[in-house]
């Protein structure tokens, strides 16, 4: 497979969306079991643009927006084969003017550490995505620390889902998925133990927004992406901190295809973001985090 190397014209884009899901591969295989995929679509009222990587690339290219793309490998918990992160990286290499691939590794795999190393060295992924609730693990447990150490050594960020999730919502027992694994306070232990690891806390962390803000203000190797919720519903404290204390570590993200960047940008006009912080939120902070600055 072709190794990914970025070729993004940073002057030719006006934003970087750091949270874009690849939901289907070239064979139509979905990243979630059918019942979970259907429930998530119903929860988010999702429809619209194509979800395979070529369609995603075309969609974002039209919008002059670079996109961080990934799947979630949760085979142990979901008993469902994931989309290949190596294939996502190889496909992103064909669209390296607009796409930035992150890898995903099921932490329960016996070869998880080796997979992380190979995705970095052989595939060229630029970060890793974890979803503690869907993958079914407490990220603060020391048994996972070797994985974080490998990611820190590779010099790429780790993005963790935090807060509420629509995955499993409405199904009996929420499909057995545990929301508590996505409390952002669990990431405080990770940030403390790995001070060179850049950690992205994805989403407004409802109902634990204050915990996320506490971690972000105390641990400066943590970031918050603003994906997964319409900005018009953002907690006031999140907007206040984004305008001040953590303005250099807040990132635009949509959660595509569940929320589109078009809707996010439109609804952001109803949030009280200061105009002077928006260039950093939309592009500048991500350029720095992802090592894309000139």
Q: How far apart are CA 278 and CA 257, in angstroms?
A: 23
Measure Cα distances from 79 to 115, 244, 255 in Å.
19, 43, 23
**Amino acid 29: pLDDT:** 80
6-38 as b/e, with b when 16 or more CB fall inside 10 Å? bebeeeebebbbbbbbbbbbeeeebbbeeebbe
Q: How far apart are CA 215 and CA 187, in angstroms?
A: 8
Contacts of 231 (CB under 8 A, 6+ apart): 264, 267, 268, 270, 271, 273
| CA-wise closest residue to 21 among 77, 87, 70 | 70
The conformational region for residue 249 under phi > 0 = left, psi -120 to 50 = alpha, else beta, is alpha
| CA-wise closest residue to 200 among 166, 159, 256 | 159
Domain ranges of the chain: 15-289
Whole-prediction pTM value? 0.96
Tokens, residue 199: 């950690």
Could you tell me whether strands 65-70 and 250-251 are parallel, antiparallel, or unpaired per DSSP bridges?
Answer: unpaired
Q: How far apart are CA 76 and CA 24, in angstroms?
A: 19
Count other C-beta atoms under 10 Å from residue 240's C-beta: 12
**Amino acid 46: pLDDT:** 59
Q: How far apart are CA 234 and CA 251, in angstroms?
A: 14
| CA-wise closest residue to 165 among 134, 210, 209, 137 | 134
Q: How far apart are CA 149 and CA 68, in angstroms?
A: 22
| Helix or strand holding residue 62 (H, E) | helix 53-62
Q: How far apart are CA 13 and CA 99, in angstroms?
A: 12
Q: How far apart are CA 227 and CA 12, in angstroms?
A: 23
CATH-assigned architecture of domain 15-289: Alpha-Beta Barrel (3.20)
Can you list the residues of the chain whose pLDDT is less than 70? 45-50
**Amino acid 53: pLDDT:** 93
| Helix or strand holding residue 286 (H, E) | helix 285-289
94 secondary structure, DSSP code = H
Q: Taking CA 128 as the corner, what is the angle to CA 21 and CA 27, rounded to the nearest 5 degrees?
A: 40
Place of tokens 């407004």: 204
């Amino acid at each position: 497979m072709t190794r990914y190397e970025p070729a993004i014209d940073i002057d030719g884009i006006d934003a970087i969306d750091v949270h874009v899901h690849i939901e289907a591969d070239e064979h139509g295989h979905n990243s979630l079991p059918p019942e979970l995929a259907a429930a998530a679509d119903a929860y988010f009222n999702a429809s619209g643009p194509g979800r395979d990587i070529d369609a995603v690339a075309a969609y974002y290219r039209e919008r002059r927006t670079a996109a961080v793309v990934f799947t979630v490998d949760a085979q142990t918990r979901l008993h469902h084969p994931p989309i290949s992160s190596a294939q996502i990286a190889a496909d992103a290499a064909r669209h390296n003017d607009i796409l930035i691939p992150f890898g995903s590794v099921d932490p329960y795999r016996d070869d998880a550490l080796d997979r992380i190393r190979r995705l970095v060295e052989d595939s060229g992924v630029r970060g890793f995505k974890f979803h503690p609730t869907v993958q079914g693990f407490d990220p603060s447990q020391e048994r996972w620390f070797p994985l974080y150490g490998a990611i820190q050594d590779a010099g790429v960020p780790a993005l963790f889902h935090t807060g509420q999730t629509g995955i499993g919502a409405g199904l009996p027992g929420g499909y057995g998925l545990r929301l508590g694994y996505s409390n952002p306070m669990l990431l405080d232990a990770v940030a403390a133990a790995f001070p060179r690891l850049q950690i992205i806390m994805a989403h407004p962390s409802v109902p634990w927004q204050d915990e996320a803000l506490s971690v972000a203000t105390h641990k400066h190797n943590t970031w918050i992406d603003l994906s997964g919720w319409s900005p018009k519903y953002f907690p006031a404290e999140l907007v206040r901190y984004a305008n001040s204390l953590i303005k250099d570590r807040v990132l635009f993200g949509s959660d595509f295809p569940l929320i589109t960047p078009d809707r996010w940008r439109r609804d952001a006009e109803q949030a009280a973001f200061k105009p002077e912080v928006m260039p950093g939120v939309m592009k500048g902070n991500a350029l720095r985090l992802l090592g894309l600055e000139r």
